[in-house]
Structure 1
């Protein structure tokens, strides 16, 4: 197979290894990750260190982005010279190189305790996928794990974060770094016609145009849930008395299907006898558009039922309700055939509150729940919150202040779950 690289990709792949950290930052679909994978493969071919690490928000993403990479990942580059293995340190790609065997471990790094998975390991290098989504403790531990490397090397990629993102000051500005900016023009396989189509979509929103077309760091004034705090709204475990478990979902075949497991907990109140919190404890997500694997509704229903049963066993609770977007009639019917009864979710279509109506009422409720730390994400090893966290950073308003109907499947079903919580526990509590 012949691969055509852009001039920028070739420059990156062939650059000298004279920096502690190399960062590729820019727009989605700019081909920066592909260039990084080939660059990393070149490094592995001559490095004198045996153990290396690829880390992303979770292990699945680390594998998908770097090992697989749409057919251009490490497992494809090395072909018969590589195979997936497992040892006492975890899953890894064992690669045969001219300079000996290399073990490339792939692990999740988005949680506060992720660093435990690499404590005690000695690494020659680390590749950070979407470094802005990783937990800072994990990032810093990765740099410590390479202190004794013979050929120390770090590679990171990311879409442009907000200018005040901690990774800029705490990582980029303290390392000897080579920073390269990428835009969609650096991708050799995207046609001019497709670029025009993407531009026409992005130009409707100044925030998206600057971030996803020009690749600039911009203050996310247009992001609807900008008040979500990665520290205050994410907890490592449930606290309080468990009161109710219910599920909320939004679905489609080409669009993303997103279903969350929600547990309401009761806590000793400050202003009244009890306060309640809405804990998003697990998340099923699949996008036919993003993965290229469009599933039948019957398959989605089967996987969602498995997700529901897993949650019930994991948290030792029985579900009370399964709310699904009223527009997803096919998904509801398939779930009914499997014995999972559903109810239409409250999508705010009839809500009016002051000057707000419809979806805006639900958005304001969820914004308040986030601000008041009533809405929490609880970390779990399976069914994690990668897609939710990523999406709420992209769910924005257009020039007229209206929510853009894009990147909103997780946000919509989170709004549905909060509507139920609000009416039953905030108003009724």
Structure 2
């Protein structure tokens, strides 16, 4: 039997009397689970046939709402639901007492994501982590429901920065019911585990306010706060391709992260040529996040597939594969598959003025981001979802030291930038 918290019961049984319902609060507060059951209740009674779940990418949409750790829509509806595909895409086909209902699931993190729903008529949209979605996609979703009989929108998110555009351009525009969540609203987390989480988060004021109190806070402690979702993200590769190389960091319970990087040459302003570092694709898997721990040999096979895909996609052969020197087992497994690797420069020996070690690499990365020398390129596969999540959460503690968390993708991005800096900037 499923036990719901009072907050979850409040959400699931609320009247459908607003345009948008927003569940905002801390990670592990059970807001997504409540949203899934709320959405299932809506689907069971709606008169509209087509509906949409949208997350940063399609995989996230499926994992968060269809699967949801065994509590997703496909489990709630059980034998009444089947995964299908038609001209509009993948969807869950549900038999209800009102007839069949199609729940499509799609990615919405890219500028052209809205093309996937252009022309569709929808009864409702559920936005997963709405602050990570492209604003064009969000607005198109609202337009697609204009003709609905039972128009409904549901969104969830962790607390964004107070100046995030989703607040003024979406929440304050719609007739919105906003509900705040904290970890105390999760009925399955024990007091002992809450205390453990509290002790970890209280070491950093930003994380404590955001992930314990569920407050919107200006990310002053975020190390790469200068990263801009418009200026540092491009839709296509520009300039002349000079070199492709890969950078990686690995672990079994921790995340394994490998990026594909392409250096491009451009007409210079101060000198004949300028160079940019384009992070064009990203392989990422976390054993702790997914509950699926893979062998290093499996990671190596998947990484080799990723490398070959990138070379074919961008029509250029790699020059190097840099892996963190500490990841000896991953390097050995890659060597067995014929992928030659080199130890990445992890800044362990770097000194620049008063900065030492990792701080040297961080300063280089901050400079590359600020100068728009470091760019993300949108691709249809191997996207940057996990990189973007990390870059908004990688922080310093009260003593100004980088906290060793939310940094798996960012560490290997730093390694990639170290190589770029020494070869193309110095």
Scaled to the shorter chain, the TM-score interval is over 0.9
TM superposition shift of 1:163: 0.2
- Which ranges in structure 2 are unaligned for 5 or more consecutive residues? none
Q: Which residue of 2 aligns with 1:337?
A: 336
Q: Provide Cα deviations, 1:188-246, integer angstroms capped at 9, x if missing partner.
A: 00000000000000000000000000000000000000000000000001000000000
Secondary structure at the counterpart of residue 142 of structure 1: helix
The separation in 2 between residues aligned to 1:33 and 1:97, in whole angstroms, is 23
The separation in 2 between residues aligned to 1:179 and 1:318, in whole angstroms, is 50
TM superposition shift of 1:99: 1.0
Aligned residues: 426
The separation in 1 between residues aligned to 2:71 and 2:224, in whole angstroms, is 34
Q: Provide Cα deviations, 1:67-92, integer angstroms capped at 9, x if missing partner.
A: 00000000000001000111111000
- Which ranges in structure 1 are unaligned for 5 or more consecutive residues? none
Q: Provide Cα deviations, 1:294-326, integer angstroms capped at 9, x if missing partner.
A: 000000001000000000011111000000001
The separation in 2 between residues aligned to 1:385 and 1:411, in whole angstroms, is 11
The separation in 2 between residues aligned to 1:5 and 1:346, in whole angstroms, is 49
The separation in 2 between residues aligned to 1:277 and 1:70, in whole angstroms, is 40
The separation in 2 between residues aligned to 1:97 and 1:119, in whole angstroms, is 26
Secondary structure at the counterpart of residue 225 of structure 1: coil
Secondary structure at the counterpart of residue 411 of structure 2: helix
Q: Provide Cα deviations, 1:403-429, integer angstroms capped at 9, x if missing partner.
A: 0000100000000000000000001xx
Q: Provide Cα deviations, 1:60-116, integer angstroms capped at 9, x if missing partner.
A: 000000000000000000001000111111000000011111000000000000000
Q: Which residue of 2 aligns with 1:81?
A: 80
TM superposition shift of 1:59: 0.3
Q: Which residue of 2 aligns with 1:402?
A: 401
The separation in 2 between residues aligned to 1:243 and 1:329, in whole angstroms, is 29
For the pair 1:271 / 2:267, whether they are aligned, the reply is: no
TM-score normalized by the length of structure 2: 1.00
TM-score normalized by the length of structure 1: 0.99
The separation in 2 between residues aligned to 1:125 and 1:103, in whole angstroms, is 11
TM superposition shift of 1:370: 0.4
Q: Which residue of 1 aligns with 2:175?
A: 176
Q: Which residue of 2 aligns with 1:167?
A: 166
Q: Which residue of 1 aligns with 2:192?
A: 193
Q: Which residue of 1 aligns with 2:346?
A: 347
Aligned positions of 1:48-63 closer than 5 A: 48-63=47-62
RMSD over aligned Cα, in angstroms?
0.4
Q: Which residue of 1 aligns with 2:286?
A: 287
Q: Provide Cα deviations, 1:105-139, integer angstroms capped at 9, x if missing partner.
A: 00000000000000000000000000000000000
The separation in 2 between residues aligned to 1:162 and 1:378, in whole angstroms, is 24
Q: Which residue of 2 aligns with 1:129?
A: 128
TM superposition shift of 1:278: 0.2
Q: Which residue of 2 aligns with 1:380?
A: 379
Secondary structure at the counterpart of residue 174 of structure 1: coil
Secondary structure at the counterpart of residue 172 of structure 2: helix
The separation in 1 between residues aligned to 2:354 and 2:147, in whole angstroms, is 61
The separation in 2 between residues aligned to 1:374 and 1:98, in whole angstroms, is 56
Secondary structure at the counterpart of residue 171 of structure 1: helix
